[in-house]
Amino acid sequence: MTETLPPRPDIAWLRKTAKQHLAALRAKDPAARLHQAQLEVARLYGFASWRALKAHVDSVSPDGKIIAAAVEGRAADLTRLLRENPGKTGITGGRWNRPLLHLAAEEGHLDCVELLLDLGADVNRRDRLDRAYALHWAAMAGQLPVVERLVEAGADIRGEGDAHEMGVIGWATGFREVHRDVVDYLMARGVEPGIFTAIAIGRRDLIEALVENDPAELQRPMSRFEHHCTPLHFAVQKDRAEMVELLLDLGAEPSAKDSRGVTPLGYAAPKTDTAVVDLLVDAGADPAERSPNRFESAIPILNVKSVPNAIAYYVDKLGFEKEWDWGTPPDFACVLRDDVRIFLCQDGQGAAGMWISVFIRDVDALYDEYKEAGAVIRQKPTTFPWGVREMNVEDLDGHRLRMGSDATGPEEGEPLNEAP
């Protein structure tokens, strides 16, 4: 039976409750951990996880209500809440713990942006993690009316100094989407695009001029968050065959490596234009470097009810192969995909419902593969605040595989599905 939270729940009180519960658990099991106590407290109040409980508590606090109003574009509620809570205009929260103006700007809520500007929000305030202005986030999301309003309010239209080293115009082109209308607006006001933006919008003339002025532009690295990839890596990532051809003609190095040791060909995804691959291989790239979904992880041991059935699921649905099995009938086995091995043990060496993180190159391509194969997908690819885009997959015995690749954009606002 679940209990009801008080009308104004306090997370500090809940943390104290979890610690008290941990003491009781350790009286029975000295190996008990805090996360177990937190989970039991969360379930006591009807939540599937401690994270879900905390999110609820945050949402009903004054700060949480203000943040939600800004994110959801409820200008009337935001006006009332800020009037009732003087001094809260400068709070941070939501995605990436950003100021209210950033949150409203990304979502395109012009009325909330107007309100916050009227209340004195600093149009050139940087957020803590990305060192970005609200203008960066509006550009990244393609919110042209908000971009225009922020510039009118005095926003630094170039926005240099952000953690991604792209400037505002780079944010409009450097992530998952390319917002040409925002780029056109910025360029009309004197913002000069760099080589990465020129690649994203397909401007041969700009690229040629940049390289003619400084040949080192061909090897200019992006930031550490983009693994210091070169313009050629970026053109492959954007699936721009004509830009790949141009960069190669200008002298770009097809075997250049990013900070992870990946060459441009390694950026080719399953859906990448075959012309991109052909151009790189013809330029001297090693075809073996193309491995868009190469797995990189360790070997867990999973407790299963039936090794033969588990092997069949991992092979038929998840794309593994049986490397070996042991026993007649088998009660221990190993399945393998690329460099990832998983041991399957029948009725031993582990417990039900274990979780594994598997890091791959392209989780969206894997999602398409798994949908077609009929795998049990508990959560489709989602970008989370810890910088990973993950898909949540379940096997026959309830074990969960968090299949993830590097995020190329901001958090999508969905919690990780931890429900049993």
- Pairwise CA distance, residues 32 & 196, whole Å: 51
- Pairwise CA distance, residues 238 & 362, whole Å: 13
- Pairwise CA distance, residues 126 & 162, whole Å: 8
DSSP code of 253?
Answer: -
Decide: 379 and 332 in contact? Cβ < 8 Å: no
Q: What is the pLDDT of residue 296?
A: 40
- Pairwise CA distance, residues 190 & 186, whole Å: 7
Find where tokens 């790189």 sit. Answer: 280
- Pairwise CA distance, residues 321 & 365, whole Å: 19
Query: What is the enclosing helix (H) or strand (E) of 316?
Result: helix 307-316
- Pairwise CA distance, residues 69 & 179, whole Å: 26
Decide: 349 and 374 in contact? Cβ < 8 Å: no
- Tally of CB atoms within 10 A around 32: 17
Identity at 401, one-letter amino acid code = L
- Pairwise CA distance, residues 8 & 64, whole Å: 12
- Pairwise CA distance, residues 5 & 12, whole Å: 14
Q: Supply φ then ψ for residue 78, to 5 degrees.
A: -65, -40
Q: What is the pLDDT of residue 1?
A: 63
Where do runs of H (alpha helix) occur along 261-326? 274-282, 307-316
Q: What is the pLDDT of residue 405?
A: 94
Residue 181: burial class (beta carbons within 10 Å; 0-12, 13-18, 19+): exposed
The CATH class given to the 301-406 domain equals alpha beta
Find where tokens 């942006």 sit. Answer: 113
Q: Which residues contact 114 (CB under 8 A, 6 or more apart)?
A: 149
Helix (H, G, I), strand (E, B) or coil at 326: strand
Q: What is the pLDDT of residue 293?
A: 60
Q: What is the dihedral of CA 292, 296, 301, 303, to 10 degrees?
A: -30
**235: its two tokens:** 């053109």
- Tally of CB atoms within 10 A around 58: 17
Q: Domain segments of the chain: what residues?
A: 11-60, 193-292, 301-406
Q: What is the pLDDT of residue 297?
A: 41
pLDDT of the chain along its 420 residues, tens only? 678 888 778 778 888 998 998 888 888 888 777 778 888 888 999 988 877 888 888 778 888 899 999 999 999 999 999 999 988 999 998 877 899 999 999 999 999 999 999 999 999 999 988 999 999 999 999 999 999 999 999 999 999 999 999 999 999 999 989 999 999 999 999 999 999 999 999 999 999 999 999 999 999 999 988 989 999 999 999 999 999 999 999 999 999 999 888 999 999 988 899 999 999 999 999 998 887 565 544 589 999 989 999 999 999 999 999 988 887 778 899 999 987 889 999 877 778 789 999 999 899 999 999 999 999 999 999 999 998 999 999 999 999 999 999 887 888 888 999 988
* Model confidence, pTM: 0.67
- Pairwise CA distance, residues 337 & 291, whole Å: 12
Q: What is the pLDDT of residue 295?
A: 53
Cis omega before residue 381 (within 30°)? no
* CATH code assigned to 193-292: 1.25.40.20
